[in-house]
Structure 1
Amino acid sequence: MEGAGEERGGKRARSGGARWASDGAPGGYFAAYSAPGIHADMLADRVRLEAYFAALNAGAVEGKVVLDVGTGTGVLACMAAKAGAAKVVAVDGSAAAAAAAEAMVADNGLGHIVTVVCSPVEELELEEASVDVIVSEWMGYALIYESMLPSVVFARDAFLKPGGLVLPSRALLYAVPFTSHTGMVEELDSASATAAVPELALLDAWDAQQRFGLRWRALRPFFASGSGGLPDAATAARLTVDELEPELVAAEPGLVLDLDLSTVAATELVAGAATLSDLVFSTRATMGTPLAGICLYFDTVFEAADVVLTTSPLSPPTHWAQTLLHLPASAHRQLDLDSHVSGRISLLPDFAPGQERNLAIHLELDEHGEPGPRYAFLLDAVEVRAARAP
């Protein structure tokens, strides 16, 4: 099957297998997902959970076979089962997360519907010939930092039946110019948490309320086992992951990237691919103010359910916050009301086996209708740790 990789020993496999190192192995891709902190951020994100809950309960999974790629603690798999899915296969490469998911499934009495498999999806063996729906929460900072979308595309090509559904079905990246306030420059040297880490009391409250129709107590041991395991670190000099204050938004959003998850190919998601290179954006200033940088945020769309999950700075906050590209002070320029701001952005994901993933971002802003200087930014594991630092 095209895009499904080679057949090895009865398993669908892909080259570069070192990526799939076990938990705790040096540079293991799944090591970060074994720490409770990253899952705590996701569970604390009300906007995220409510969007997936609404999408899964719009009828698209009822009576269907569902594959949950990167299930984590199994919450989306349980939601799909409660929404009427006939069967759910929940796959995750982190042994710690998969164990938490199994506990969640068992405590909710959904073991007859949900099967948790600890495996990279590239090595997954399914009893079924195909699935009807693939659901995944694959998005990362600046949309693609997480390096997980290629795995979703792999699963789509390998397992999704013709005419099947991918949830979400579309992803859009936007660029928004922003201005600064007096203290913003000093704040670049300090980390900012993107979301509060939920305490055990929150899980207890959700369990008592049967939040989203689920029992939550089975996750207490997982979250009690550690506070996240990601050390504090200084932020990158000119790139931050933070909530942009709405009053600092200086222009309308400009569309940078529009991905159709039913058709995008894995070859379009690597550094240098035309899909991610020299992406033109254009927008209009909504105030007269100095231009301090460009904010990147994304929307994911569940078209079958008419649901949009947005990370816009003008909407309720999410654990993704926004990725802020701060221009050097010498590059700040005055924006006039209704003036146009345009430029190009290139996204260069970099994932080498045995190394931590990172995402290079190149930004070029037009000046007087001509291409201006090009600025390079790096979103790496250090920045991600800083974003989660308490």
Structure 2
Amino acid sequence: MAVQAEAPNVAMEGCDVFMVPYRFDAKELRWTPTGEAAAAVKMSREAAKSWRIVVGNQGVPLSEIRSASTLGPNFLVLDLIKHGQIGLRCDDESGLKQFATELSKRRADYERFEQYEQSSVQSYFQYYAKLSNQQNMLQDSVRTSTYQRAIVENPDDFQGKVVMDLGAGSGILSFFSVQAGAEKVHAVEASSMAEVVRLLSNANPFLTKKVEVISRPVETITTSELDGQVDVLVSEPIGTFLFNERMIESYLCARDRFLKPGGKMFPNVGTICIAPFSDSLLHWEQQNKNGFWKNTNFYGIDLTAAVQRCTREHFRQPVVDYINPDCLVSKCIEKRFDFKTITIESLHTIEIPFDFEISQPCLVHGIAGWFDAFFEGTNQTVVLSTAPTCPGTHWYQIRFLLEVPLAVNAGQHVEGTLKMEANNLQSYYISIFMRIQGTNISSSAPCIDLKDPEYRFYTSANSYCPPGTGQNAAPQAAPPAQSQLQYQQAHFAQTQNVLPGQAAFTPAQPAPAWEAGAHGAPVPGAPMGQPMTNGFAPHA
């Protein structure tokens, strides 16, 4: 029944049932007992992410199980990849159901963790194991102070409670939880940064007996190791455009397995906001990065055959930088994700349909995006916004470029879909299709790689700095979250949310005369307020 287990058996809570193993006899076409006596069936962990079903002293790794199904009320069939099938008969129907349920959950967690390329997982943990990268996040004062405010100013949710800090990093959210009165904090950190959490906890006496560090991925932890479920789940699982790195899926995994019914999540809601933008300089930059490959005599070699591939490569890169709100040519729309209710599977494909009314004649060069995170506590609600109208953060904003821009007149609608497809690199491929409503004029961005952005903030091309951020300053120069309110009022007014106040809207800059027009037609630099055409035919 596969190989001998190399580690002591660790029974999962509620999974100790007694069964007789069977094998399928292909000659007689029936299941026959193996001759072994009834044995305890458990789940055992050999390493951080290696689980197996153990019957007596023999085990089957989860990686070898193709599927598991029940035949009748008390017979479980394990379909193995290499060794045929194994049947398990149990006299206790409820015990079999419980075991089958736990097996299904464990296999789902295993498959979710194992789906990523190991090189991606390794580089991910190596990145977050560096103090310099932790420092960059800690010095983002908007991020850090917003989390502190969300936790400390909701004492009713933390005082005397058991908390799990998922992806603890340097441990700052664990420490805030203790400051808010938590009785116990499980700091889960899979990278070697867990050693720093222990170091800082031991150096601060008020933390020493409160913070327990678990240095493994959350998918490999059992409820019995935590002495039960937790009251509160805190995490900073947010990546670029909210979902890059796919850490939110681990956040939901922790919710499903460790959070008590009615428990609190910080954050509990995230929103993605998108809006069309017009930025002729940015588009021209990307379009002309192929200049080297236009060389017809590079040491005697004609390189021009690679020009088109180079252009596509640059347009596949999203651009991460601070966006001047003046570039936005419509109000944004948002898609809301309730972390208390959404499923992991629902995040494998995300579609955001849109219908934007364009505010002035312009070339639409693509879609801009950012996110907000909400901490809806018992005492108060705190919002972390990365909108262009708010102080800057280390997440910046993001833009997805159309290789062929659309020329649109004021009052016209641009409709389409932004689609995100999860990949095994802990990220997403993004495609965009947009069309001028009522016409057949359209453009698209077929395959943008969210994991491979261009960080334009670090170049001299973008001189814009968001409110509250010094010229060419790092994100940590932004004021604390308490000062975000005045900026959030303008932001939420533009998204038609609840806060009062109306932000002024400034038209985008005109396209320069040297820009290639929509669909490749030459378009002179038309001043704002003048009708635009799409090369093929004018449109109303």
- Aligned partner of 1:322 in structure 2 is 397
Q: Which stretches of structure 1, 4 residues or more, deviate above 4 A after TM superposition?
A: 10-13, 17-22, 24-29, 187-190, 234-238, 384-390
The structural deviation recorded for 1:123 is: 0.9
Choose which of 179, 201, 208 in structure 1 pairs with 2:278.
179
- Aligned partner of 1:147 in structure 2 is 246
Unaligned runs of 5+ in 2: 1-11, 13-41, 46-50, 52-104, 290-312, 460-473, 475-540
Find the aligned partners of 2:174 and 2:375 in 1 and give their Cα distance. Answer: 16
Give the TM-score, by structure 2 length. Answer: 0.56
Matched, 1:308 2:383: yes
- Aligned partner of 2:431 in structure 1 is 362
Note if contact 1:291-1:335 (Cα within 8 Å) is conserved in structure 2. Answer: no
The alignment partner of 2:228 has SS state of coil
How many corresponding residue pairs? 328
Within 5 A, what are the aligned runs for 1:200-349?
237-255=316-334, 257-271=335-349, 276-277=350-351, 279-304=352-377, 305-328=380-403, 330-336=404-410, 338-349=411-422
The alignment partner of 1:62 has SS state of coil
The structural deviation recorded for 1:164 is: 0.4
Unaligned runs of 5+ in 1: 2-6, 191-233
Q: Over aligned residue pairs, what C-alpha RMSD do you find?
A: 3.0
Find the aligned partners of 1:25 and 1:181 in 2 and give their Cα distance. Answer: 34
Partner deviation per Cα, 1:296-321 (whole Å, 9 max, x = no partner)? 11111112231111111111111111
The alignment partner of 1:250 has SS state of coil
- Aligned partner of 2:5 in structure 1 is none
Residues 377 and 366 from structure 1, CA distance in 2 versus in 1: closer, same or farther, beyond 3 angstroms? same
- Aligned partner of 2:167 in structure 1 is 70
Residues 189 and 296 from structure 1, CA distance in 2 versus in 1: closer, same or farther, beyond 3 angstroms? farther
- Aligned partner of 2:444 in structure 1 is 374
The alignment partner of 2:245 has SS state of coil
The one-letter code sitting in structure 2 at the alignment partner of 1:123 is T
Note if contact 1:91-1:120 (Cα within 8 Å) is conserved in structure 2. Answer: yes
Partner deviation per Cα, 1:68-121 (whole Å, 9 max, x = no partner)? 1000110111111111111111101101x1112222222222011111111000
**Once structures 1 and 2 are overlaid, which stretch shifts more, 152-161 or 39-48?**
39-48
Find the aligned partners of 2:405 and 2:281 in 1 and give their Cα distance. Answer: 17
The one-letter code sitting in structure 2 at the alignment partner of 1:103 is L
Residues 357 and 25 from structure 1, CA distance in 2 versus in 1: closer, same or farther, beyond 3 angstroms? closer
Residues 289 and 37 from structure 1, CA distance in 2 versus in 1: closer, same or farther, beyond 3 angstroms? farther
Find the aligned partners of 1:292 and 1:94 in 2 and give their Cα distance. Answer: 39
Find the aligned partners of 1:236 and 1:288 in 2 and give their Cα distance. Answer: 24
Find the aligned partners of 1:237 and 1:333 in 2 and give their Cα distance. Answer: 21
Note if contact 1:19-1:29 (Cα within 8 Å) is conserved in structure 2. Answer: no
Note if contact 1:239-1:377 (Cα within 8 Å) is conserved in structure 2. Answer: no
- Aligned partner of 1:8 in structure 2 is 43
Residues 385 and 115 from structure 1, CA distance in 2 versus in 1: closer, same or farther, beyond 3 angstroms? farther
Find the aligned partners of 2:177 and 2:439 in 1 and give their Cα distance. Answer: 50
The one-letter code sitting in structure 2 at the alignment partner of 1:263 is T
Residues 247 and 282 from structure 1, CA distance in 2 versus in 1: closer, same or farther, beyond 3 angstroms? same
Note if contact 1:238-1:327 (Cα within 8 Å) is conserved in structure 2. Answer: no
Find the aligned partners of 1:55 and 1:320 in 2 and give their Cα distance. Answer: 19
Residues 331 and 129 from structure 1, CA distance in 2 versus in 1: closer, same or farther, beyond 3 angstroms? same
Note if contact 2:430-2:450 (Cα within 8 Å) is conserved in structure 1. Answer: no
Higher relative contact order (CA 8 A, sep 6+): 1
- Aligned partner of 1:99 in structure 2 is 195
Residues 377 and 108 from structure 1, CA distance in 2 versus in 1: closer, same or farther, beyond 3 angstroms? farther
The one-letter code sitting in structure 1 at the alignment partner of 2:220 is E
Note if contact 1:75-1:104 (Cα within 8 Å) is conserved in structure 2. Answer: no
Give the TM-score, by structure 1 length. Answer: 0.75
Find the aligned partners of 1:189 and 1:240 in 2 and give their Cα distance. Answer: 15
Find the aligned partners of 1:26 and 1:62 in 2 and give their Cα distance. Answer: 35
Note if contact 2:317-2:449 (Cα within 8 Å) is conserved in structure 1. Answer: no
Note if contact 1:21-1:28 (Cα within 8 Å) is conserved in structure 2. Answer: no
Partner deviation per Cα, 1:191-223 (whole Å, 9 max, x = no partner)? xxxxxxxxxxxxxxxxxxxxxxxxxxxxxxxxx
**Once structures 1 and 2 are overlaid, which stretch shifts more, 13-22 or 25-34?**
13-22
Find the aligned partners of 1:388 and 1:100 in 2 and give their Cα distance. Answer: 29
- Aligned partner of 1:198 in structure 2 is none
Find the aligned partners of 2:212 and 2:287 in 1 and give their Cα distance. Answer: 44
The alignment partner of 2:226 has SS state of coil
**Once structures 1 and 2 are overlaid, which stretch shifts more, 122-131 or 33-42?**
33-42
Note if contact 1:62-1:83 (Cα within 8 Å) is conserved in structure 2. Answer: yes
Note if contact 1:188-1:237 (Cα within 8 Å) is conserved in structure 2. Answer: no
The alignment partner of 1:30 has SS state of helix
The alignment partner of 1:39 has SS state of helix
Note if contact 1:238-1:377 (Cα within 8 Å) is conserved in structure 2. Answer: no
